[in-house]
Amino acid sequence: MENIKDTEAFIENIKLLLNEKKYSDLRDIFEEMNPADISAIFSELNESRIPLLFRLLPKVLAAEVFVEMNPEAQAMLIQGFSDNELKDVLEELYIDDAVDIVEEMPANVVKRIILNTDPETRQMINEILKYPEDSAGSIMTIEYVSLRPNMTVEEAFKRIRRTGIDKETIYTCYVTDNNRLLIGAISIKTLLLADEDTIIRDLMDTNIIYAHTLEDQETVANKFKKYDLLAIPVVDDENRLVGIVTFDDAMDVIQEEATEDIKKMAAIIPNDKTYFRTNIFETWKARIPWLLLLMISATFTGMIITSFEEALAAQVVLTAYIPMLMDTGGNSGGQASATVIRALSLEEIEFNDIFRVIWKEARVALLCGITLSACNFVKLLLIDRIGVYVALTVCITLIVTIFFAKIIGCTLPILAKKIGFDPAVMASPFITTLVDAISLLVYFRMASFILKI
Amino acid sequence: MENIKDTEAFIENIKLLLNEKKYSDLRDIFEEMNPADISAIFSELNESRIPLLFRLLPKVLAAEVFVEMNPEAQAMLIQGFSDNELKDVLEELYIDDAVDIVEEMPANVVKRIILNTDPETRQMINEILKYPEDSAGSIMTIEYVSLRPNMTVEEAFKRIRRTGIDKETIYTCYVTDNNRLLIGAISIKTLLLADEDTIIRDLMDTNIIYAHTLEDQETVANKFKKYDLLAIPVVDDENRLVGIVTFDDAMDVIQEEATEDIKKMAAIIPNDKTYFRTNIFETWKARIPWLLLLMISATFTGMIITSFEEALAAQVVLTAYIPMLMDTGGNSGGQASATVIRALSLEEIEFNDIFRVIWKEARVALLCGITLSACNFVKLLLIDRIGVYVALTVCITLIVTIFFAKIIGCTLPILAKKIGFDPAVMASPFITTLVDAISLLVYFRMASFILKI
């Protein structure tokens, strides 16, 4: 009944038992543990030990641990399995987990998997594989409990008891008609609290929240959040029930999508591997394209500086404030874009709100610009002791830069989404590069106007 | 059975029915709808209409809609309620929802709420209110089904049928002994598939994943994800069961924490209001502290430039590459820090991994630095047509800057977490400011070494 706190000592103990070949002790330990914890322990051990330990586990637990392991370990295990062992594991998997595994495995392993599944399962796997990545269809499972509208509660329970053991969830059951059209949903709670003779039709909820097979997984996950659902039924073009998505998949999607947004916002091309499972070449490949693109864009900023070389030579002090102006512009724009990108993801903002967003950001920009300029003005005069006109040049540039930065920062993500791009790429790094150029142009324009150079 | 697609037309229809005082039609429409959708419709209408519409809803639905509304609308409704109406709504609320509402309301409204709840509920609300914000205790509910180990399955079902209607979830039941110590958990699925005479003790799972009242909500949410749980029991210091956290709360936490990280990473002080519910002064207050701090830090970068004024005057061409070097350094560091911050949140990385992380980032930094420098070198010679030595200065600076940027970017978040700060603050804006200064120092050092100025 204790969470495994002292993992290191625990792993040492496992290693010791392994070396002493105390296999039945090991089995007893594992039988009391959670699949996710066992898989975490396995990943800490020498790879060559895993197949042996895996064979100690009872069949159902073995399959559950298998699902939790990383694709490399899964591939290694499958390659070591006999055909019978492989069949045993595959038989115990939920279809959506089997699909996840097939998607991650190299071709030769997939071939062995397909050869060792029964034709019915194979067909179900292929059915799900045909849906595009990130669609509701691709994350659904087809193992749900379906009821008929004319059943009684008693009959429904009989059906649930008979078929429920293999279903991913039995807590929401779906009611379909003769043509597999989805006509209602009913929770086990409702069934339990109802009289045995009541007809399902009279109990079921007909106002169902559902998803379409091709709907984006993020939209589906947002529905879970909005309506606090345990599962969402997935229907095809003809409104026929083809599967369900369960809350645990929705939780994964919420977390994955947030991770993806964070990476894109930091100019990284997202992949779905964990930090240490991504090797350095993959990491390099994920980071270099944006770095290169942004480096090239930044050279335009350099060209602006070059073209104002004379002005800078005349007033060398101006150079000292370039980093401050560029950074503050970038930060201001980054704040607006991050806020708007997140609000778009959470569906708090949509395209129609664009003018409300701009109006809000414009006022926030003025407030921020005036505050920062005032602080800066005092500092320029009292600490840096530069002339009033140079100080004015810097401070007016600051206000104008922040204004542009916030407007660009809030507008670009919304426009990107409208034309079908991912808003998250319109985040700080991109905005910074753009705002750098603008801040310099404003700066030199102001300098030539105020300082007459 | 249709998702509300055409919301605008739908709202127009509601307004029409309201103006024509067709209240029973309105009631019929709302009765078929989901609470989250009704609340969304309400928020689109004139505030003065809400109390009237609210009174049309049946009691249970009214309470469900109330929970979904934003705090301003809730406060307004409560102020308009008679004591009886308020009692009716409060009676239907789950305790954790009641606590959320109490936390958001102004003091005078809270007083009215407390006056209108029965003593038992009041005590339960106070019980939860005493836990620190963001702890498991603060998000738990105390409405769970508890069973005794010596009950039979049949007795358990009787108990569930009798008490289940008011519980937030009945799908996982918790088994406690005479001292309220948590000794097991059992799912409705297990109960349904078992024989009626089996004793709970023989069926229950004793290897329970649980949370402590003071545990951080993010840690609790990560457990939901890791173990695919519907609910997690919360125990106090003596291992007594005091409440449960359900998956929908965990989903909210996952999303809130991601939003909070994204905001902190963009140098914004997070709050938990939506974009449009935050007024411009609140937005300003959330954004200005970091802008100010970073602006002041950026002046150090300016001071570095000033101190190398002579070198710049001797080789004005050097100025042109300052933005590119600063931006690329900032972007490189931002990539590393964003990746590490997210991995820390998802518990993929911990403090002990710091050297593995540095070793990985160092190699990635070299790969990125060499790639970018090579591209840049060719461009400097062929397009910009600057001298080989200046080109060398720029390119070597680039490699060194990227190296420092990645190392700083990956180290600071891990160190911040170790000393109890939020790693998310060590993101791009902060790293950029730091790396700017470093890149300039390296640049001028290289220039004086290679170009002898």
Task: Kindly indicate the confidence band of residue A3, based on its pLDDT and cuts at 50, 70 and 90.
Answer: very low
Domain segments of chain A as ranges: 7-130, 146-246, 280-450
Picking from A259, A266, A327, the nearest residue to B334 by CB comes out as: A266
- How sure is the predictor about B135, in pLDDT bands with cuts at 50, 70 and 90? very high
Confidence of residue A104 (pLDDT cuts 50, 70, 90): confident
Instruction: Identify the helix (H) or strand (E) that includes residue A164.
Output: none
Locus of tokens 């270099």: A288
Check pLDDT > 90 for residue B409: yes
Per-residue pLDDT, A316: 77
State the best of B240, B335, B358, B406 to mutate against chain A, taking most chain A CBs within 10 Å: B335
If pLDDT is split at 50, 70 and 90, which confidence band does A21 have?
confident
Whether residues A360 and B440 touch (CB distance < 8 A) is answered with no
For residue A310, the one-letter residue type is E
Measured distance CA(B115)–CA(B130) in Å, rounded: 19
Cβ contact A251–B331 (<8 Å): no
Q: How far apart are CA B262 and CA B252, in angstroms?
A: 15
| pLDDT tens-digit readout, A216-231 | 999 999 999 888 899 9
Residue range B185-208: average pLDDT? 93
Label residue A390 by pLDDT band (50, 70, 90). Answer: very high
Determine the Cα angle at B435 with ends A443 and A303, to 5°.
Answer: 35
Q: Which of B251, B299, B342 sits opposite A259 (nearest CB)?
A: B342
Q: Are B305 and A319 in contact (CB under 8 A)?
A: yes
Question: Can you read off the two tokens belonging to residue B443?
Answer: 């640049």
Q: Output the pLDDT for position A107.
A: 82
SS3 assignment, position A62? helix
Shortest distance between the Cα of A285 and any Cα of chain B, in A, equals: 9
State residue A210's pLDDT score: 94
Render B119-156 in DSSP notation, one character per residue: HHHHHHHHHHHTSPTTBHHHH-BS---EE-TT-BHHHH
Testing the interface with A: which of B327, B328, B430, B431 to mutate, by most A Cβ within 10 A?
B327
CB contact under 8 A, B36 and A160: no
Q: What is the CATH number of domain A280-450?
A: 1.10.357.20
Contact A326 B328 (CB under 8 A): no
Tell me the backbone φ, ψ of residue B145, rounded to 5 degrees. -95, 125
- pLDDT the model gives residue B1: 35
Q: pLDDT per residue over B60-70, tens digit each?
A: 888 889 888 88
| pLDDT of A438 over the 90 cut | yes
Q: Which residue of B has its CA nearest to A298?
A: B324
Count other Cβ atoms within 10 Å, centred on residue A28. Answer: 11
| pLDDT (average), residues A262-286 | 89
CB contact (8 A) between residue A367 and residue B281: yes
CA A112 to chain CA centroid, Å, is: 31
Token duo for residue B64 = 């469900």
- Which residues have CB under 8 Å from B106's CB, separation 6+? B75
Average pLDDT score over residue span B33-61: 86
Nearest C-alpha of chain A: how many angstroms from B405? 13
Q: Residues 6 or more apart from A279 whose CB is under 8 A from it?
A: none
Q: Looking at residues B440-451, what average pLDDT do you find?
A: 91
Task: Assign A368 a pLDDT band (cuts: 50, 70, 90).
Answer: very high
List of chain A residues whose C-beta atoms are within 8 Å of the C-beta of residue B306: 317, 319-320
Binned at pLDDT 50, 70 and 90, residue A377 comes out as very high
Residue B256 has pLDDT above 50, yes or no: yes
| pLDDT tens profile B272-286 | 788 888 889 999 999
CA distance A28 to B438: 57
Taking an 8 Å cut-off on Cβ atoms, the answer to whether A255 and B251 are in contact is no
> Which residue carries 């977490």 as its tokens?
B417
- CA B278 to chain A, closest CA, distance in angstroms equals 10
Mutate which: A218, A283, A332, vs B, most B CBs within 10 A: A283
Report the distance separating Cα B235 and Cα B144, nearest Å: 13
- pLDDT > 50? residue A298: yes
In angstroms, the CA B298 to CA A324 distance is 5
Q: Distance between CA atoms of B335 and B358, rounded to whole angstroms?
A: 14
The domain defined by B7-130 folds into MgtE N-terminal fold (1.25.60)
Instruction: State the average pLDDT for chain B.
Output: 89
- Of A396, A137, A61, the residue nearest B207 (C-alpha): A61
A283 contacts in B (CB within 8 Å)?
A: 360, 364
Show residues of chain B in contact with A210, CB under 8 Å: 1, 3
| pLDDT at A5 > cutoff 60 | no
Closest by CA to A26, choosing from A4, A1, A46, A55, is A55
B2 pLDDT higher than 50: no
Contact state of A250 with B251 under an 8 Å Cβ cutoff: yes
Report d(CA A408, CA A426) in Å as an integer: 10
pLDDT in tens, A317-348: 888 898 899 999 999 999 999 999 999 998 88
Q: What is the pLDDT of residues A394-411, one digit of tens each?
A: 999 999 999 999 999 999
Contact between chains at B288 and A372 (C-beta distance less than 8 A)? yes
pLDDT at position A89 is 85
Give the amino acid at B113: I
Beta strands in A78-230 (DSSP E): 146-147, 172-176, 182-187, 211-212
pLDDT at A266 over 50: yes
Q: Rounded to a whole number, what is the distance in Å from the CA of A280 to chain B's nearest CA? A: 6
Set of chain B residues whose Cβ sits within 8 Å of the Cβ of A183: 1
CA distance B278 to B286: 10
List CB contacts of A369: < 8 A, sequence separation 6 or more: A398, A399, A400, A401, A402, A403
A36/B309 CB distance under 8 A: no
Average pLDDT over residues B177-198: 92
Q: How far apart are CA B441 and CA B436, in angstroms?
A: 9
pLDDT at B123 over 90: no
Q: Which residues contact B97 (CB under 8 A, 6 or more apart)?
A: B67
Confidence of residue A443 (pLDDT cuts 50, 70, 90): very high
d(CA B276, CA A349): 8
B161/chain A closest Cα distance in angstroms: 6
Residue A6: per-residue pLDDT: 58
Q: How many residue pairs bridge chain A and chain B with CB atoms within 8 Å of each other?
A: 345
How open is the CA angle B346-B351-B353, to the nearest 5 degrees?
85
| A374-383, B20-29, B332-341: least confident range | B20-29
The C-alpha of A60 sits at a distance from chain B's nearest C-alpha, in angstroms, of 15
Question: Distance between CA atoms of B187 and A286, rounded to whole angstroms?
Answer: 43
- Chain B residues whose CB is inside 8 A of the A317 CB are 306
Instruction: Give residue-wise pLDDT tens across range B298-352.
Output: 888 888 888 888 887 788 788 889 889 999 999 999 999 999 999 999 888 999 9
Phi, psi of B93 (to 5 degrees): -75, 145
What tokens were used for B372? Answer: 């970018």
Shortest distance, CA A64 to any CA of chain B (angstroms): 11
Instruction: State the nearest Cα–Cα gap between B224 and chain A, in angstroms.
Output: 8
Residue range A6-12: mean pLDDT, rounded: 77
Contact A338, B263 (CB under 8 A): yes
Q: Cβ A372–B291 below 8 Å, yes or no?
A: yes
pLDDT of residue B167: 82
Q: List CB contacts (< 8 A) between B254 and chain A.
A: 251, 254-255, 258
> Which residue in A171, A268, A324 is closest to B299 by CB distance?
A324
Q: What percent of chain A is modeled with pLDDT above 90?
A: 45
Architecture in CATH of B146-246:
Roll (3.10)
Residue among B191, B432, B440 with most chain A CBs within 10 A, to mutate: B432
Answer whether B262 sits within 8 Å of A265, measured CB to CB. Answer: yes
**C-beta of residue A272 within 8 angstroms of C-beta of residue B294:** no
In chain A, which residues have their Cβ closer than 8 Å to the Cβ of B409? Answer: none
Partners of residue A376 in chain B, C-beta under 8 Å: 295
Question: Which residues in B368-415 belong to E strands, given as ranges?
Answer: none
Question: Chain A contacts of B342, Cβ < 8 Å?
Answer: 259, 262-263
Residues A284-305, mean pLDDT to the nearest whole number: 89
pLDDT at A299 over 90: no
